[in-house]
A and B are shown apart, each in its own frame.
Chain A
Amino acid sequence: MRCRICRRDAVIKVRSFGIALCEEHLVEFCLRRVSEAIKRYRMFGREDRVLVAVSGGKDSMVLWDILSRLGYRVDALFIDLGIEKNGHMERARAVVEAFAEERGYPLRVVSLRDEYGFSIDDVKERETRTVCAACGIVKRYIMNRVAFEGGYQVLATGHNLNDEVAVLLSNLLGWKEGYLSRQGPVLEARGKLVKKVKPLCELTERETAVYAMVEGIKFHHTACPYSKGATTLTYKRALNLIEYRSPGTKIRFYRGFVDRAKRLFKGDEVELVECPLCGYPTTHPPCAFCRLRERMVEKAH
């Protein structure tokens, strides 16, 4: 198959557009798609300081690279969650630090254990609840806090189109109105909650993977050892099957929801109050992060 633009050998067939692209034009395509998504969904401007959350996985690494190349004011944040099983965190951190050094991109590293006195391994060991839920609380809290205290206007995450439509399908199948009312490429700022954006929301996982390969971006391949059996995979595979038979389904599903259907769902207008322990907004004080932290500290003694 030949590149639609230059007729060289293609490295990817972008089924939803009915085109094939070579290395050079796939990179150009990804940069343009992200740039258009930033403008289409009014994510941020040239003057804004953007904090990119990076995990070492392909999507966040690609996002970091693309935003830097597009000339935005970008710093990256890596949270060391203290997952030692299979050397998971150590390897992810090494990949991120090496990339920052190689490209000269600014990077901030926060260690959960050093800053807050516990790790996700501790949560796994000491809590009966699902570790993924606690990990989500930790990541959202630290990302927001670093962004707010660092004076960033926007927090960007590497969620891609596949992630977004999988969650959308899951929320629709369960008619989770509250989640549906908040789902989308942008979550506006509210008090000490920094604006959150997903600039890769219109790129597929295949596109980000091939971008990483052709741009020589090394990423951490191994999934988190605690995420086995994640139901997201089932939705992703189902949607990919539909996409294969009916190209363009995922982007139509996503845009249709954001542009036309999202407004039909009403979330509860929850009142936010200040957490008495950390001062950050919460619905039920103390906030979920401070409650988790307190339990971890109690159980350690």
Chain B
Amino acid sequence: MIRVRMGDRVFEVDRKRIRLEALLRDLCINPEDVVVVKGERPITEDAWLEDGDEITVYEVVSRG
């Protein structure tokens, strides 16, 4: 399971190993709209996520 925090929501994705870019695609999130942090450090889209990992997805599209 990979734990995903996004805004007020927290949910789990049932995957053992997946690239961040593929996970975002599954969640219909454009990588250009977000910054993803793992362990307080931003990560790039090619990063591998493993069972037990927790990430936070920050939406960076402001209302201008």
The reply on B58 being an interface residue by CB < 8 A is yes
Contact B64 A236 (CB under 8 A): yes
Please judge, given known A-B contacts A13-B44, A58-B62, A224-B63, whether A243 and B37 are in contact too, CB under 8 Å.
no
Q: How far is the CA of A59 from the CA of B33 in the complex (A)?
A: 15
Which residues of B have CB within 8 Å of A217? none
Which residues of A have CB within 8 Å of B45? 1, 13
What's the least CB distance linking B57 to chain A, in Å? 12
Name the one of A1, A59, A236 contacting B44, with C-beta atoms under 8 angstroms.
Answer: A1
Name the one of A12, A159, A163, A232 contacting B42, with C-beta atoms under 8 angstroms.
Answer: A12
B: contact size bracket? 20 to 34
Number of A-B pairs, beta carbon distance below 8 Å:
70
What's the least CB distance linking A268 to chain B, in Å? 25
Contact B35 A223 (CB under 8 A): no
Name the one of B32, B46, B64 contacting A166, with C-beta atoms under 8 angstroms.
Answer: B64
Contact B37 A233 (CB under 8 A): no
What is the interface of chain A, defined by CB distance below 8 A to chain B? 1, 10-13, 15, 20, 57-59, 159, 162-163, 166-167, 205-206, 209-210, 213-214, 223-224, 227, 230, 232-233, 236-237, 240-241, 243-244
Contact B63 A241 (CB under 8 A): no
Contact B32 A1 (CB under 8 A): no
A-contact 0/1 string along B6-36, CB 8 Å cutoff: 0000000000000000000000001111110
Please judge, given known A-B contacts A166-B64, A224-B63, A233-B61, whether A206 and B44 are in contact too, CB under 8 Å.
no
Name the one of A20, A213, A241 contacting B37, with C-beta atoms under 8 angstroms.
Answer: A213
